[in-house]
Amino acid sequence: MLTIGDRFPEFNLTAVAGGDATKLDVLNAFSSVTNETYKGKWKVVFFYPKDFTFICPTELVGFSDLDSEFKSRNTQVLGASVDNEFVHLAWRQNNKSLNNIAYPMLSDIKKELSLELGIVNDSGVTDRALFIVDTDDVIRFIMVTDMSVGRNPQEVLRILDALQNGGLCPCNWNKGQETIDLKKV
């Protein structure tokens, strides 16, 4: 598995657009997203195992609910799985809670990106993995949880704040709080 300090791999994947999925169809729902699409932005790229499952929609909605907070920090959220773009679209259109996901959902159907990241498990799907990537495409944070445990988007936002702060951030540090000043230690 790639780790902190490694470059996030180059990719070119088909995505389902964010926004109201009930207004999307196969003619306007899809676009190509590459590592260059959000050049100059931080990225939170989170992988979930499969569409039409139980924990995954709670995470998709949780990240969508905070999308404006991520955007205010020059950060693009991207959700991804090894399902194809048509399954992503059908899931979004058929699950009311997913109708208005704010960010693109990437299809890594060939598993090229997932394999390069090292997050494909023995079942052939991705682990529940998340990467925070800086503006230079360097991986700055990784989280991988058991398939039965969803992630906390608010905690991901807190970690992003700490990384963007650039200081020494103590346990439970939140944006606006003081960092550790080595001159005072």
Q: Where does residue 41 rank: exposed (0-12), middle (13-18), buried (19+ CB within 10 A)?
A: middle
Closest CA to 106 of 23, 40, 9, 22: 9
Q: 46 with 78: CB under 8 angstroms?
A: yes
Digit-coded pLDDT (tens) for 54-84:
999 999 999 999 999 999 999 999 999 999 9
Tell me the whole-structure pTM to 2 decimals.
0.96
Secondary structure letter of residue 64 according to DSSP: H
What residues form DSSP beta bridges with 13?
33
> What is the per-residue pLDDT across 7-41, written as a single tens digit (0 to 9) for each?
999 999 999 999 999 999 989 999 999 999 999 99
> Which of these, 137, 175, 185, 127, lies nearest to 11 by C-alpha position?
137
For the chain, the domains span 12-150
12-150, which class in CATH? alpha beta
Active site residues: 56
